[in-house]
Amino acid sequence: MAAYGALVSLRQIIDRIENHPSPPISIDKQQVESLTQNVTFLQDFLDAYISRAVDDHEADPLEHRIADAVYAAEDVIESQIVLQIHNRSTIVGKISSFINLFRALCNCVTIEEDFYHDLQQVIEEMNLIMKEAMEIAAAAQLHRKVSSTHAVPSTSSSTVKEIVMVGFDEVLLEVLDKLTGGQLSRQIIPIMGMGGIVNQR
């Protein structure tokens, strides 16, 4: 499943950047939290998701959207890493001129702002996907609940117990005769006995 693999890959990239002693880029804390929350939810969702694709060779539309959004997030992060590395080398090369250094630093600020904006767009797309996934999960849960309440328990012949009276065949025949004899007057037929005279088999 491409979408799930992409989510795992993005999670690893975020973890590496966050745990690196001197990370190549800085990601806004709130954006990191949003990305991590989205990735975690979508991974859990895909674990239980039954694809709507008719054909095995056809990509599920939702899974395709998830994969595209994750790839876009990876592209934004990796592009920012490349730009930052390039910019740092440029700053070192232009350190002799104060004006050039000032321009390079201004360029760094612009790159940071663009990075924040681009990553935010991807996060918003992932938020929309997550909302759709929540609706699908809620509908599936409701369907399961309705199905379980309307399900008729099946009984097999092996599980149905037959109740018989042991050792009182004549009495049983007499009681059946009185019940089905068709007498017009009302009768009281007492049935008494010790516990255990009825056997289940």
Does one domain contain both 173 and 107?
Answer: no
Does one domain contain both 45 and 91?
Answer: yes
User: What separation in angstroms does the CA of 117 have from each of 9, 112, 113, 123?
Assistant: 22, 9, 6, 10
Does one domain contain both 132 and 192?
Answer: no
Q: How confident is residue 193, by pLDDT bands cut at 50, 70 and 90?
A: low
Give the mean pLDDT of 8-16: 93
Q: How confident is residue 172, by pLDDT bands cut at 50, 70 and 90?
A: low
Token output for 51: 């694809």
Question: Which residues are paired to 200 by β-bridges?
Answer: 163
Report the b/e string of 143-165 with b at 16+ CB within 10 A: eeeeeeeeeeeeeeeeeeeeeee
Indicate whether this model's pTM tops 0.85.
Answer: no
Q: How confident is residue 131, by pLDDT bands cut at 50, 70 and 90?
A: very high
What's the domain count of the chain? Answer: 2
- Taking each helix axis as running N to C, give the angle between helix 29-48 and helix 61-93, from 0 to 180 degrees, rounded to the nearest 10: 150
Does one domain contain both 34 and 10?
Answer: yes
Give the end-to-end CA distance of the chain in Å, rounded to a whole number.
52
Does one domain contain both 37 and 118?
Answer: yes
Does one domain contain both 181 and 117?
Answer: no
Domain hosting residue 173, numbered range? 163-200
Q: Residue type for 34, please?
A: S
Does one domain contain both 143 and 167?
Answer: no
